[in-house]
Amino acid sequence: MILTVTLNPAIDHTLSLSEPLVDGDVARTNEYQLQSGGKGINVSQYLRHLDIETTTTGLLGGTTGQFIRNELADQGLAHDFVDIEERTRLNTTVLAPDAEYKVNHEGPTVDDSAIDELVERLREHDPEVVVVGGSLPPGLDVDAIDRIAEGGPWETVVDVGGESLADLDAHYSLCKPNRVELEAATGMPVESLADCRAAAQALREQGFDRVVASLGADGALYVGEDAVLYAEPLEVDVVDTVGAGDAMLSGVLAAWHAGASPERTLSYGIAVSSRLVGVVGTAIEDLDDVPTLADRVTVVEDPD
């Protein structure tokens, strides 16, 4: 079972506008979505559509936290969150014809003792893999992630900011930085594919068994002891990029959990991400066509 952890979850509020935003004008729309958000939650949602057993956990508080619990229950997604005192945050994305705007709250202040309770929850579920994703709320630092990684016999996967990646001390089975995070974690240039490969190699040497770097429109890299691979992106009409990295990670995890080769693992990540960017928001009805999409992904060894 794969258990995902979101330490700073959110309600994702997505608005779609028919006209560009104009300073001083009131923009109006009836096209909006309210969805449970946060990297771990998103990953579990996609894993469920990929027929992987999963439970999501983390820290929730207030009426916004209860909204997330209710929505996950309605979706039938297994969850077991730790209660905190302050209200869970709200993140807003505005999709206008000329641009995409994002405003994220910092999140509630969390006492370090919440991590003790969270680790106990993880031990009760006895997962094979724990995925820690997203930002840290005020009051916590990267030591909280290390404590989760060292709290039990599970393999730990992280999808966190570059600065956090650089400061982690525990052992991790996999990390999934994007291009900006790869640069922040290593201090190395990431302009070319060769730059990204070198940075991913350097990051792996910092204590990560595997690095999957999502490069947006340039595809993705897989760097591990068993292989160094590059996957080209699929040609799709991009509607919304929110959650694309989470979708890629879920595809990678699903294939890896099933014992697939590194090549198939990377192609699955590309396939799930390609499906998500074609819809508005982070919700998706099914991922039945992912195996077929993965067959279309071009993966090359040892890219220059």
> 193 by DSSP, 3-state: which?
helix
> 56 by DSSP, 3-state: which?
strand
Q: Are 87 and 63 in contact (CB under 8 A)?
A: yes
Among 23, 246, 288, 289, the one annotated catalytic: 246
What is the full DSSP assignment across 223-283? Answer: EESS-EEEEPPP----S--TTHHHHHHHHHHHHHHTT--HHHHHHHHHHHHHHHTTSSSS-
C-alpha to C-alpha distance for 29 and 241, rounded to whole angstroms: 20
Considering only CA atoms, which of 55, 66, 48 is closest in space to residue 121? 55
C-alpha to C-alpha distance for 211 and 204, rounded to whole angstroms: 6
Fill in the amino acid letter for 282: T
Dihedral sign for Cα atoms in the order 65, 239, 222, 164? negative
Considering only CA atoms, which of 146, 123, 145, 124 is closest in space to residue 134? 145
Question: Does residue 25 have an active-site annotation?
Answer: no
| Terminal-residue alpha carbon distance, the chain | 36
Strands 155-159 and 129-133, bridge-based pairing: parallel
Active site residues: 246
